[in-house]
Amino acid sequence: MISLKNITQVFDNGIEKNHVLKSLNLEVPEGQFVTIIGGNGAGKSTLFNIINGNLRPTAGSIIIDEQDIQKKSHSARAALIARVFQDPNTGVCPDLTIAENMALANARGKWRWLNWAIRKKDLRYFEERLAEFDLGLERMLRKKASLLSGGQRQVVTLLMATLQKPRLLLLDEHTAALDPKIAKQVMEITKKLVDEQKVTTLMISHNMSDAINYGDRLLMLDRGEIAMDVFGEEKKALTPGELIVKFDS
């Protein structure tokens, strides 16, 4: 479904050149859930910024559904790609209610009138979706997003990202800022949403256990190149200790 061909990113400050990504090639089929690990400077966030359209690569192409999206505008890509960031404050507008935030997300890729209203059937739909997570969020639709905890915001952001199923979901260390108990809860909700919708997903993680336990495939980036690519039984057989050894080698 997504194909990255010879993605290269070189940052040149006039004194030295930093080759962050080096002719990276990756094929991800429809519905696959890929976890990505790598040290600082490995190129993970740069890769996401290129896919998302926040950064234009030095060379290479990005193919989604057999179309090169390199020349598509950021708004056009937003209809195809959803991204959830590490900071829980990034995914929602804090001054809007949960219902208003979800209504905006539900309108992604659709024509929006200047004067729009949240319909009763939309509210019922939002309540039903939020109730699936058993966190009481369905009773908070009229609350401003600024009043939610970090974990609650990430759950709302995840649901917003998948209300209109994206062609590609990017999870950028989306549990790293949460305490371990809440992070585990958010990961289980992530798995539920991805499994139900069979949405093609790339997830950056620094948690070795999560990298093994979640997703169909595991990639390790090292200095701008894919150093490891495992899936299936080989992935399941890995232990966090073994992964740390590979990570540090």
Task: State the CB neighbour count (10 A cutoff) for residue 32.
Answer: 19
The verdict on residue 119 lying in a domain is no
Is the pLDDT confidence value at 186 over 60?
A: yes
> Is the Cβ–Cβ distance between 41 and 223 less than 8 Å?
yes
* Token output for 61: 């192409």
pLDDT, tens digit (0-9, with 9 covering 90-100), for 128-164: 999 999 899 999 999 999 999 999 999 999 999 999 8
Q: Which residue matches tokens 């080759």? A: 19
- Domain boundaries, position 210: 2-95+150-248
In-domain check, residue 48: yes
Comparing 78 with 161, which gets the higher pLDDT? 161
pLDDT digits (tens, 9 = 90+) for 82-104: 999 999 889 999 999 999 999 98
pLDDT in tens, 209-242: 999 999 999 999 999 999 999 998 899 899 888 8
| Domain contains 122 | no
Q: Give the count of domains, the chain.
A: 1
Is residue 115 domain-resident?
no
Q: pLDDT for 16-38, tens place per residue?
A: 889 999 999 999 999 999 999 99
CATH number at residue 43: 3.40.50.300
Q: Is the pLDDT of residue 114 over 70?
A: no
Residue with tokens 């798995």: 191
Question: Looking at residue 109, what is its pLDDT?
Answer: 63
Q: What is the pLDDT of residues 240-249, one digit of tens each?
A: 888 887 776 6
**Does 168 fall in a domain?**
yes
